[in-house]
Homo-oligomer: A and B are copies of this chain.
Amino acid sequence: MSEKIKVAIAGYGNIGRGVEAAIAQNEDMVLTTVFTRRNPESIKINTTNAKVMNMADAASLKNDIDVVILCGGSATDLPVQGPELAALFNTVDSFDTHAKIPEYFKAVDTAASQNAHTSIISVGWDPGLFSINRLYGDAILPNGGYYTFWGKGVSQGHSDAIRRVKGVKNGIQYTVPVLSAVDAARSGSLPELTTRQKHTRVCYVVAEEGANLSEIEKTIKEMPNYFADYDTTIHFISEQELKENHSKMAHGGFVIHSGSTNHGANNHVIEYSLKLDSNPEFTGSVLVAYARAAYHLAQKGDHGAKTVFDIAPAMLSPKSGDVLRSTLL
């Protein structure tokens, strides 16, 4: 076996731990370093022989790490860390603010290209594997359309939003696909589906003592962008119940593309679905496969920013072309 790919994690939260678990399942890779902005001594990691270092000292390992997997948030962490670390290392990240992807791509592309690094952005399942399936569907059946459904799973953004409501002590929000809408998409009839028809939102809220529950309910249900366009159900529960029944990080969803051929004579439905016990561990597993691709592309001199659209499937696998052709093709 040739030398292992030396991987670092930047940011040790849920995704960072998911990445750590995934690296342990891939024999061609080794986790050497975890970068953190917290006090390194306060961080307990699961990998023996890997060290925890302050993010500010990352540059000192410039020549010792093959690829860094960025596990910070898209709101404030990645817009800064993405370009900064792409100047120092090959990188992979899960930037998921869809509207800001073009701008982020450009910033990372400049940093990576100028320093002969390869950086794959917006990796995970959406953006990521779902995006790939939207693209395959669009390219193969251009006379058609697609539907994306998410859930049942926790939306971090919506959970944060309810926790900011006055009188709310804690809470969590599930995005739930409406099964009749999923079936309508599967029918291939390309139905028009409104936002409200596709998903419902279910909230579990822990209220502060003496809070006005009907006021909380009204505020959440009418919150623009987050809840106003959806049918929202609110359950008030105890802090204990929240901990016991709502600490799992399961998620999933569907991409359904349908399209016709031969002047509408025949119809075809392509469906891709995920059912995930742990969203961060699955996302971490996707990031690790793309870290392998980033490393090998960099070795080949193919630098700059990339997305999942630019990565040939074979680049994700540790197996040779010969083996892949004789076993999986």
Residues of A within 8 A of B (CB): 18, 21-22, 25-26, 98, 101-102, 105, 122, 127, 129, 131-132, 134-136, 138-143, 186, 188, 261-263, 265-278, 281-282, 284-286, 289, 292, 307-314, 316-319, 321-322, 324-326, 328-329
Contacts and interface: CB of A to CB of B under 8 A. Distances in A.
Contact of A274 (B262, B270, B274): B270
Contact of A322 (B102, B273, B308): B102
Nearest to A105: B325
A98 B26 CA distance: 27
A25 B142 contact: yes
A51 B196 CA distance: 51
A289 B137 CA distance: 10
A289 B139 contact: yes
B267 A313 contact: no
Contact of A136 (B134, B278, B282, B313): B313
A46 to B, nearest CB: 9
A135 B25 contact: no
Given A271-B272, A309-B324, A136 B316 contact: yes
Contact of A309 (B262, B271, B329): B329
A140 B318 CA distance: 11
Given A282-B261, A313-B308, A101 B326 contact: yes
Work out how many copies of this chain go into the complex.
Answer: 2
A271 B270 CA distance: 11
B289 A266 contact: no
| For the complex of A and B, 9 pairs with smallest distance between CB atoms | A266-B277, A139-B316, A266-B278, A309-B314, A261-B281, A21-B262, A269-B275, A139-B317, A134-B328
Contacts of A263: 21
Contacts of A102: 322, 325-326
Contact of A317 (B21, B138, B312, B328): B138
Contacts of A188: 275
Given A127-B329, A326-B101, A140 B285 contact: yes
Contacts of A308: 313, 329
Given A25-B143, A136-B316, A271 B273 contact: yes
Given A267-B277, A272-B272, A310 B309 contact: no
A147 B153 CA distance: 25
15 contacts: A25-B261, A102-B325, A102-B326, A129-B270, A135-B313, A135-B314, A141-B285, A261-B282, A266-B277, A266-B278, A268-B277, A270-B272, A270-B273, A271-B272, A310-B314
